[in-house]
Structure 1
Amino acid sequence: TPTLRDKYNFTDEEVEFFDLHIVSDEIHGERGYQIVLEHADTPELQQRCLKICEIGAQMRLLYTTALYHDYVAQEIPLPELELAA
């Protein structure tokens, strides 16, 4: 969130949304990790969990890629994004 404040001049109220979601994501991620540790007690179940995580990550990438193409690509082509990073 420092970039939102420093580069984009977001107010504390505007940044609060992101702060809350970051904390929630950390809590949910830890809880998910604990559930897997408790229940995936065989190598087969652990591999299944890893595969499900891989599929979820691929789905997230497809989703964010589609958002980029639908809402951002015309204004900020990908080569510009690579130079900015």
Structure 2
Amino acid sequence: MIAIKKGEHDIALGNIIGSNLFNTLAVVGIAALIQPMSLEVAVLSRDWTLMAVLTFALLLMGLGHKQHAGRINRIEGALLLTVFFGYTGYLFSTIL
């Protein structure tokens, strides 16, 4: 938030992508070291694929066009939030 307020959007985007990768690789890896777990292949392929696609989409949105390079507009942000809420809703509906 401080980077955004200072107008350093590239640092903010790097923090988002970096925390996404850290959470996926380190947090899940450490949890698996503490308590080995078995997961279905469908869970890994579905979740990991979606995470990779959304990270790549965020990268493309961050790179943007020549006129708006480094900016993610409201429509793109709304699209990412919609995908997030839709995917979360999908996960809840499959659990229940």
TM bracket, shorter-chain basis: 0.3 to 0.5
Give TM-score, length-normalised by structure 1: 0.46
TM-score (norm 2): 0.42
Which entry has the higher C-alpha Rg, 1 or 2? 1
More RCO (CA 8 Å, sep 6+): 2
